[in-house]
Amino acid sequence: MSQAPAHALESRLIATGVERLALLGKHAEALMAGYARNEVPLEGLTTTALNRLLAARILWRPDEQGGVKLAPKVRELIAEMLADESRRHVNADVAETLELLRGLVQSYREARDAGEYWRQEQQLLRLRQEVDDLNGRFADAIDSLWRRLNGDFGFVSRLADKIRENERAQKQIVRLLDGLALIDFDELITLVGSDGALRKLLVSGLQQQLTQHYTSLREVQRRLVELMARFRQQQSRSRLVAGMAGFLREHPGFVPGNYARRSEVPGLVNRAAPLVAAGAAALDHHPDGRVLGELLKHLPPPVHRPEPVSAAGVAAPQEDALVAARQQALKEDVERFYLAVVDGGEPLSALEFLAQGAFAWGEEIWLFQVIAEFQGLPRSEQRAFRLRPQESQAGRYNDVRLIHDVVLELA
């Protein structure tokens, strides 16, 4: 398509659109009357005007016996502009839009490869319009949900109607989430390739918009749950008040008793836990200071009982000496293990050396002392040895390492 015929087509399209929009404005009163009454009154329309509105598909006649009505798209347009939730139908057909986007991207690539820059710009413009329309449909649907929450859902008096409104809103949220889930960004990234304009439009820009839609839908769901819980709370209170009013009508002479002065309070009334009053002495109050002084005078003196020191005092140094002797013996045995590695020059297992030497130490305390001895060596001497622990993981989901043995060798 050359550039001149394309401009001529665009000019005809604009002229036709201006004419149709002028018809809407010229006969706005009759069209709004038809929107409110379900049929367009023909008294204020001439035959020529009626034929032009029918030809422009603004009005339509379902059958010969019926009257003239608004076209469905015109009715939806008016409902959208008026935010009339009772007649507003939000349609976010994502699958059809995605299929259209794939075709436009292929046409854009063909125009780019053929060097038809004007057609390439036209396809890019149509892509932007389709993406904007898709985002607009999602935004309108979410806005419709907010209006429903603040309108129909908020002013329903019966629980059954409230539940139905809640289910209706939840189903619309599910449909919107299913529509958003159809947009696969991995597919879009593969589709646009390395083209910067397409990646900015169909990947980064669209992903930012979808993030906002997901956030708005989460807020809508939170608001739905909040309103439903508040309604149930209000309904339980209203049922309590209605029940009390019915009881008073049946028992007009009923007088509530003073439950605070009764020794046995009914369980329905006695719901709160008893309060224990907190008390404190006011030291800045002189009468209280005198009373506290008298109380302190009458307190019995503390009795100090001497503790027996003889047996414990003698046993403590003996036990300390035994512990120190065992620690020194363990240290000397571990030093023999290190000297055996130095003399033999071969790697040696700590537990094998313990078993061969027939030492009276437990395996755990022996391994602790071997590792502690290595860590206590100076840096220069540590470089002469290599300590390799034989360990395993404590569990599949526990990253603690269990040391079963250590092997010491010369570096």
What six digits make up the tokens of 37?
A: 């009454």
Cα 221 from Cα 227, distance rounded (Å): 10
Distance CA 211, CA 377 (A): 59
Task: Please name the residue ranges forming H helices in 251-359.
Answer: 286-297, 310-344, 350-357
Q: What is the model's pLDDT at position 81?
A: 75
Residues 373 and 334: beta-carbon distance below 8 Å: yes
Q: Tokens for 188? A: 């879009």
The residue ranges of the chain whose pLDDT is under 50 are 1-2, 309-313
| CB-neighbour burial class of residue 324 (10 A; exposed 0-12, middle 13-18, buried 19+) | exposed
pLDDT given for residue 253 in this prediction: 87
DSSP string, 382-400: HTTEEEEEEEEEEETTEEE
pLDDT digits (tens, 9 = 90+) for 46-94: 888 888 888 887 887 766 666 787 777 777 777 767 766 555 555 556 8
φ, ψ for residue 86 (rounded to 5)?
-70, -25
Q: Which of 238, 90, 82 lies closest to 158, judged by CA?
A: 238
CA dist 108 and 104 (Å) reads 6
- Residues forming beta bridges with residue 60, ordered by sequence position: 69
- Best CA proximity match to 39, nearest among 59, 64, 54, 22: 59
Residue 348 is inside which H or E element, if any? Answer: strand 348-349
Residue 68: closest CA among 91, 100, 85, 43: 43
> Rounded distance, CA 66 to CA 366, Å?
103
| Closest residue by Cα to residue 137 from 180, 102, 174, 100 | 180
The tokens for 316 are 């403590």
CB 223 within 8 A of CB 149: yes
Kind plus residue range of the DSSP H or E element containing 245:
helix 206-250
pLDDT the model gives residue 1: 47
CB 122 within 8 A of CB 110: no
pLDDT of residue 154: 57
Model pLDDT, residue 304 = 61
Amino acid residing at 339: L
Give the integer Cα–Cα distance in Å for 335 and 357. Answer: 13
User: Residue 213, Cβ neighbours under 10 Å: how many?
Assistant: 19
